[in-house]
A = this chain, B = another copy of it.
């Protein structure tokens, strides 16, 4: 963390960025605070306004501040969208990263469910239960079903009461929803998946209710493994057509 001081040796952009970063990291600029106007900042640091805007824009994409048109620039609470953007771009340039991201998702969720077993409260349980019920109700719908599935998994992470895990998990949301949907589309054709989806999620739910981290982790991990297996089989057109008519 090279906190370059605001020496004059720095280029314009770096000067402004460092100036603001210093105050942001030191805490003298807290979420909710409004920065001085771009013009003031420019004259204060002896740079031009476009440079100030560059720095503010940089902080904006980092989710640190928000530039409000004709209002001013205010400090915001760090947001997820940054990671979202990053993963979106990163994924685009390395398509093989998708499987990788899934691994990270498994990592996050398995840790989250352990924490959830310790920390979940009634509200969390209720949310999980609602999500579970919704999975059952929407088992025949691709869109709603995928969303219900996603909601359930998100509820697990939320129940961990870990901001970081939640942030990381959400940052992969865009990718996950796709995977959830495509998985759900398989359900229509292959009935055996219904059992898998409903039973698995209920078992996971029960493990959390029982506050049994090991069981919850193991069950969730198995759930992912089975899901992988289904998708793998789908690739070769196998699935369970042999045991059930489509």
Taking beta carbons and an 8 Å cutoff, which residues of A are in contact with B? 1, 13, 21, 24-27, 30-31, 50, 53-54, 57-58, 60-64, 77-78, 82-83, 85-86, 88-90, 92-94, 97, 100-101, 103-104, 106-108, 110-112, 115, 160, 162-165, 167-168, 174
Contacts and interface: CB of A to CB of B under 8 A. Distances in A.
B164 A88 contact: no
Contact of A111 (B13, B64, B103): B103
Contact of A164 (B92, B100, B162): B100
A32 B108 CA distance: 32
Given A50-B50, A50-B53, A53-B50, A165 B103 contact: yes
Given A1-B88, A50-B50, A104-B111, 17 more contacts: A24-B89, A25-B89, A30-B93, A57-B57, A57-B58, A58-B58, A61-B62, A62-B82, A77-B94, A78-B93, A97-B163, A103-B165, A104-B162, A107-B110, A107-B111, A107-B112, A110-B111
B25 A168 contact: no
A65 to B, nearest CB: 10
Given A30-B93, A61-B61, A164 B103 contact: yes
Contacts of A88: 1, 25
Given A13-B57, A58-B61, A101-B164, A93 B110 contact: no
B111 A25 contact: no
Contacts of A106: 111
B93 A77 contact: yes
Contacts of A21: 89
A1 B111 contact: no
Nearest to A69: B11
Contacts of A60: 58
Nearest to A77: B93
A86 B57 contact: no
Given A93-B31, A103-B165, A104-B162, A86 B85 contact: no
A47 B17 CA distance: 24
B103 A25 contact: no
Nearest to A85: B62
Contacts of A110: 107, 110-111
A104 B168 contact: yes
A86 B104 contact: no
Contacts of A101: 164
